[in-house]
Structure 1
Amino acid sequence: MIPFLDLRAQYREIGPEIEQAVVAVLNGCDYVLGETVERFEAEFADYCGADHAVALNSGTSALHLALLAAGVGPGDEVITVPMTFVATAAAIVYAGATPVFVDIDPRTWTMDPALIEAAVTPRTRAILPVHLHGRLADMTAIRVVANRHGLPVIEDAAQAHGAERGGRRAGAIGDIGCFSFYPGKNLGACGEGGAVTTNSAEVAERIRSLRDWGQEGKYNHVRHGFNFRMDAVQGAALRVKLPRLDAWNAGRRRAANVYQTGLGPEIGRPAGPIAADHACHVYAVRLPNRDAARDELARAGIATGIHYPTPVHLQPAYAHLGHRRGAFPASEALAAETLSLPLYPELGEDRAARVVQAVNRLGERLGERPDERSDERMPERVGEETA
């Protein structure tokens, strides 16, 4: 069986070092925030190329507090995409604002910058692009629109740890970056965790206050805050893993490029080559008979995932926004066809090649995609997930 994700393989490599770091935290009895978390914050900020990192209890909290620190509140609107994990939109709602969706570019699967301008209203307070599957959105084009309207750009980088373009890494391209350290992420904790990165000292200080009950100094509560603090065990585990992240991402890219070069032309896939702007958290293909394909691959001993079968605008919890099927056709088409293949640093090229063989056999049997669309004709086409 080729698993979709194999955290045990990672733990076999670094388990003793993780255990030593965690025991040191337990012996020190400094369990929440503290020196271990502060060291991780400094190391992660340096890794991302940002001036500040603020460690939190989840990626959802990172999105929530980033929006609050950017001044988003009741009655405001935030522009984002419906093809994402639900936490992106949920954080906007938590801030009291309304998610305003724009569709993805059918070539890149990330926010279509050409659609943003029409979505801006006097109530718009921020733009929240998602680096879907770990590939950077078109941040240059997005920033052009944002700057024209004086809007902050908040990156949902929950899947994009280490992705870079033009020498700038995810989390340091927009005004604020938001990361999840859920265990299955490229940089995953041994539980829940998240972080915000920014070059703004003011934003960082506000988020530090908001994560700790709105305090500025002990028992001096200057704003309504939350209990969103990172525990030191997670900080310790992340400090062990962070120095390995680039090597792990390289292993992911090697496996992803086996998929990229080996899959047949009838299999819709990201445009290649897979490069540094893709952290390869997920490698998804598009198949018109996705569910049947998933069943057949399971019978062949290959586990797969789906990121995500229903776009946010069609989720029952967001029915109040009034969107109907057909409102965002590129997102809906991707959601209906996308299938995520096994991808993790330890997968290796040999097992990736076995997956390619199985998927290609499926492609031949299941037929071409509807109206014979091919991602080869759409250059730059770029799960089970928790933020």
Structure 2
Amino acid sequence: MKVSFYTSQREYSAKKDEFNTAIQAVIEKGNFILGEQVAQLEQGIQQYTGAKYAIGVASGTDALTIASDILGFKDGKEVITSPFTFLASTSCITKHKGRPVFVDIDEETFAMDVNKIEEKVNQQTVGILPIHLFDQMADMDKIMEIAEKHQLKVLEDAAEAFGMRWKGKGGLYRHAGTIGDFGVFSFFPTKTLGGYGDGGMMVTNDDELARKAKFFRVHGASKKYHYDYIGYNSRLDTLQAAILSVKLKYIDDAIAKREKIAKQYIENLSDCEAITLPKVKGDQKQVYYVFNILAESRDQLAEHLAKNEIGYSIYYPRPLHLQPCFSYLGYRKGDFPIAERVSENIIALPIYPEITADEVEFVCSTIKSFYK
């Protein structure tokens, strides 16, 4: 049996008429740049997440870069974040000549260890950039408490967390990305809300931040050819917005299916001593964007999966503080031992709404056969 790590074809086949109608409507009207479907999706995201504003941009990476610029994460100022994440979570700071300051992660959740943040705060610190990674939101209660105490800006990297919610001290669940000053989503195809190409969204509850974001995505222009800022060319494609609006209608059903798949993995692999299953800390609602395990002999297991035509991915094989592009920061091997250890053992298994129970069963049996 061949099991893809991800495929879009099954979803497209099931909703082909809706997707084709949405795409054709854009093509027939010909309004490809910031067309009405972009505004419709932005309104849909606002309603779903509870954010006051949603601003569509070309990618999740652009969303991080623009938000970092607006929040002042630049010119030698320091921003506290995690070394265990995708490049864009840190390159958005260095692009503006800001300085990322890493803290190690929690070994059970892979999220930034919030208990290590405050010791890194100094006069140069201007912000915190938590990453809601895989199936775990960062402890936003603690992060916002530290930010308020030290007057820091918070940029939530919720690129992987669309649909996730955190139950804070007020007793209400708040959507990932809507708690800090800015939050960002990625619509990369594999995400819980993913397009058929690149796309991203910035969300905020702040009037002034939203105003700037709308200017910054169109070269910094307040109106055509009138430039208030040096901005970016980063606009969510109208065709992608149309596709995403179709998918947004079914997002809760998609998340429920992901949860069912995750539970099947947990039930089938819980008795495998060579595997450590993911844990969740804090009162939150997951979306199971990725199903990661920590596995003994990870690289050999990966080879075994590949030989059996099972797709997998490794998020992430090398933490950012050990990447050559960040060598100038002066970090060395051993500085963040938990992130380094996790990167040697982590592996992601196939999970998407259309995967079948039989396919998940085959993945699990193949993993178990490796450890016999």
TM over 0.5: yes
1:53 corresponds to: 54
Contact 2:26-2:32 at 8 Å conserved across structures: yes
2:353 corresponds to: 345
2:108 corresponds to: 107
2:232 corresponds to: 226
2:188 corresponds to: 182
Counterparts in 2 of 1:130-149, with a 5 A limit? 130-149=131-150
Unmatched tracts of structure 2, length 5 or more? 168-172
Q: Distance in 2 between matches of 1:297 and 1:356?
A: 10
Counterparts in 2 of 1:7-86, with a 5 A limit? 7-86=8-87
What number of residue pairs does the alignment pair up? 364
Q: Which residue identity is paired with 1:40?
A: L
1:270 corresponds to: 278
User: If the length of structure 2 is used for normalisation, what is the TM-score?
Assistant: 0.94
1:334 corresponds to: 342
CA distance 1:96–1:217, shift in 2 (3 Å): same
Counterparts in 2 of 1:100-249, with a 5 A limit? 100-166=101-167, 167-249=173-255
Q: Distance in 2 between matches of 1:40 and 1:46?
A: 10
Q: Which residue identity is paired with 1:231?
A: D
**How many percent identity over aligned positions?**
37
Contact 1:54-1:195 at 8 Å conserved across structures: yes
After TM superposition, where is structure 1 displaced by more than 6 Å over at least 4 residues in a row? 272-275
Q: Distance in 2 between matches of 1:169 and 1:322?
A: 36
Question: In the TM superposition, what is the alpha-carbon distance from 1:273 to its structure 2 partner?
Answer: 10
Question: In the TM superposition, what is the alpha-carbon distance from 1:203 to its structure 2 partner?
Answer: 0.5
Q: Secondary structure of the residue that 1:133 maps to in structure 2?
A: coil
Q: Which residue identity is paired with 2:53?
A: H
Give the root-mean-square deviation of aligned CA atoms.
Answer: 1.6
Unmatched tracts of structure 1, length 5 or more? 366-387
Question: In the TM superposition, what is the alpha-carbon distance from 1:301 to its structure 2 partner?
Answer: 2.8
1:312 corresponds to: 320
Question: In the TM superposition, what is the alpha-carbon distance from 1:22 to its structure 2 partner?
Answer: 1.1
Contact 1:3-1:303 at 8 Å conserved across structures: yes
Question: In the TM superposition, what is the alpha-carbon distance from 1:275 to its structure 2 partner?
Answer: 8.9
Q: Which residue identity is paired with 2:25?
A: A
CA distance 1:250–1:276, shift in 2 (3 Å): farther
Question: In the TM superposition, what is the alpha-carbon distance from 1:69 to its structure 2 partner?
Answer: 1.9
Query: Which is richer in strand?
Result: 2
Contact 1:253-1:275 at 8 Å conserved across structures: no
Verify: 1:359 aligned to 2:367, yes or no.
yes
Contact 1:254-1:349 at 8 Å conserved across structures: no
Contact 1:62-1:179 at 8 Å conserved across structures: yes
Question: In the TM superposition, what is the alpha-carbon distance from 1:15 to its structure 2 partner?
Answer: 2.4
Q: Secondary structure of the residue that 1:131 maps to in structure 2?
A: coil
Q: Distance in 2 between matches of 1:34 and 1:354?
A: 44
Q: Distance in 2 between matches of 1:257 and 1:3?
A: 19
Q: Distance in 1 between matches of 2:279 and 2:248?
A: 28
Q: Distance in 1 between matches of 2:300 and 2:273?
A: 19
